[in-house]
């Protein structure tokens, strides 16, 4: 079978054994998923330092090493595709209404065929947006893991509870926090990195990294953390990532 991607599937029977393959169709394209068993490779030597990651909506991830991963959903590419998706969905809705009106004559059959064509357009746009977001997550995780830290600390976010906020539910769903955690765990196991998860009630944003003082009246609109005790001033999300990195109460997954 001719494949578009050449060299992706290993052919050496001594190092890789092909177990099975599954063919699927999504948005008019066919994909093959191959299950391969490979021998374990030597894990790299890790450097004695840790990384804390604070996930958010304004920026996707703020790391304690100073790296800031922007929100890909705010880019012009995503916004153009979402605008185009909105137009195509409106067109699909109009075609459905026309089909209900003319489903008893020959024009109704032509409308039904146009509906299938329009559905494929909408599916392709959804697939395109999903591919861009997934690719961005993969690149962020790859850059984090390649620094070879001893441990990576993230927060146990209550995504289900956050989705109940109707003003932020769409933005939270587009960030794919659960997919990020799942893929980060798989990559950490591959490299031998310890993945630490801090309890969701830990006040990482409200705690001063310099003196440990907790500021309970910190609002979500306060983007800069100013400590009333020691005068420590830092970006709110970066301060949270430092607290997550140095947190001593965590669970290893």
211 φ, ψ (degrees, to nearest 5): -115, -10
Q: Give the side-chain half-sphere CA count within 13 A for 97.
A: 6
Residue 151 and residue 158: Cα distance in Å, rounded? 22
- Which long-range contacts does 175-181 make (Cβ < 8 Å, 24+ apart)? 175/55, 175/57, 175/60, 175/71, 175/73, 176/133, 176/134, 176/137, 177/55, 179/134, 179/137, 180/55, 180/61, 180/137, 180/140, 180/141, 181/154
The single residue of 37, 82, 143, 155 carrying the catalytic annotation is 155
Residue 229 token pair: 């005790």
CB 135 within 8 A of CB 183: no
State yes or no: is 156 an active-site residue.
Answer: no
Residue 146 and residue 144: Cα distance in Å, rounded? 6
The single residue of 5, 40, 54, 97 carrying the catalytic annotation is 54
State yes or no: is 155 an active-site residue.
Answer: yes
Identify the bridge partners of residue 21 per DSSP, sorted by sequence position.
34
Alpha helices of 152-221 — where are they, by DSSP H? 159-162, 169-175, 177-191
State yes or no: is 235 an active-site residue.
Answer: no
Instruction: Give the catalytic positions in this structure.
Output: 54, 155, 237
């Amino acid at each position: 079978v001719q494949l578009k991607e050449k060299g992706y599937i290993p052919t050496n029977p001594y190092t890789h054994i092909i177990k099975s393959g599954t063919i699927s169709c999504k948005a008019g394209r066919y994909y093959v998923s191959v299950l391969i068993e490979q021998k374990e490779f030597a894990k790299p030597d890790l450097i004695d330092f840790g990384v804390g990651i604070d996930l958010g909506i304004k920026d996707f991830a703020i790391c304690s090493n100073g790296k800031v991963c922007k929100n890909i959903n705010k880019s012009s590419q995503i916004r153009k595709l979402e605008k185009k998706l909105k137009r195509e969905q409106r067109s699909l809705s109009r075609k459905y209404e026309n089909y209900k009106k003319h489903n008893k004559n020959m024009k109704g059959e032509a409308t039904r065929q146009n509906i299938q064509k329009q559905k494929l357009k909408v599916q392709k746009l959804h697939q395109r947006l999903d591919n861009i977001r997934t690719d961005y997550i993969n690149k962020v995780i790859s850059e984090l893991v390649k620094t070879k830290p001893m441990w990576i600390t993230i927060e146990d976010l209550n995504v289900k509870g956050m989705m109940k906020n109707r003003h932020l539910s769409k933005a939270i769903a587009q960030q794919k926090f659960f997919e990020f955690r799942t893929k980060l765990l798989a990559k950490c196991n591959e490299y031998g990195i310890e993945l630490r998860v801090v309890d969701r009630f830990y006040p990482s944003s409200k705690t001063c990294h310099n003196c440990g003082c907790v500021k309970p009246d910190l609002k979500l609109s306060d983007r800069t953390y100013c400590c009333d005790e020691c005068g420590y001033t830092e970006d709110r999300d970066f301060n949270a990532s430092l607290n997550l990195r140095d947190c001593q109460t965590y669970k290893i997954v």
